[in-house]
Amino acid sequence: MLAVIIPAKNWLWTTGLTPMAERVVVDRPLYPTRYERHDGQHMAVIEADVPERAVLATTQAGLPERFGTYYVALDGVLQHVWEREAVDFLDPAGATRRLRDRLRQHAGLDDVSRRVRLNAGHGFIPGAFTRWGAWWGVVERVTAQQVWIRAATETEILAAGEKLPVAPTGDAPIAAIQAEAAADADAA
């Protein structure tokens, strides 16, 4: 049984995952059982049977929003999680693929060669395999002050003897969230 108190200007929802875009969207509302005043604020008390590790979202009341602030229910308490973590809770099988996609995007690389301007004497050679930010890249072409680089495929990374990153799943993310919540409680 989950019992939470949130501002009455917000709604609490169960969530689901969109099939194509892999975004967390609100699904069914969890209605307040009563309203109370706490420190002069109008608050909604919500009591609901939700499974442990269920992903919930809050949105502004009365607005047709599909996305909101995400929480996971742990030990009868809502713990804040980021959207990417919420997606991983809803679909743990795709967590590693999404992590690798984020790392490639953060590095600014994709399957198409990208031209990067560098200083003369940069030292890159065509066909070189190199670490590029958060991912690995393969140098396609080189001039004195330019490099065309693309993201290395997983096969190329493994062939070079590197290890691919693996997203934490199962109890590891839960333990991290609980440790963070305990540290926040100690600091307060």
The residue among 47, 74, 90 that closes a domain is 90
The residue among 90, 122, 142 that closes a domain is 90
Where b means 16+ CB within 10 Å and e means fewer, 8-34 reads bebbbbbbebeeeeeebebeeebebee
134 and 72 belong to one structural domain: no
Q: Domain count for the chain, please give it.
A: 2
Which ranges of the chain have pLDDT less than 70?
none
161 and 126 belong to one structural domain: yes
The residue among 44, 60, 90 that closes a domain is 90
85 and 96 belong to one structural domain: no
49 and 141 belong to one structural domain: no
Pick from 117, 119, 137, 140: nearest CA to 129: 137
110 and 177 belong to one structural domain: yes
184 and 112 belong to one structural domain: yes
What is d(CA 5, CA 86) in angstroms, rounded to the nearest whole number?
Answer: 21
Rounded (10°) CA dihedral 79, 19, 10, 63 = 160
Which pTM does this prediction carry? 0.80
Full residue range of the structural domain in which residue 67 is found:
2-90
117 and 80 belong to one structural domain: no
pLDDT at residue 106 in the model: 94
86 and 100 belong to one structural domain: no
pLDDT at residue 19 in the model: 82
pLDDT at residue 61 in the model: 87
β-pair partners for 60: 10
**Pure H helices in 32-161:** 83-90, 95-107, 154-159
pLDDT at residue 65 in the model: 78
pLDDT at residue 33 in the model: 94
pLDDT at residue 42 in the model: 96
83 and 156 belong to one structural domain: no
What is d(CA 85, CA 15) in angstroms, rounded to the nearest whole number?
Answer: 13
Locate 68 and state its tokens.
Answer: 């909101």
pLDDT at residue 158 in the model: 95
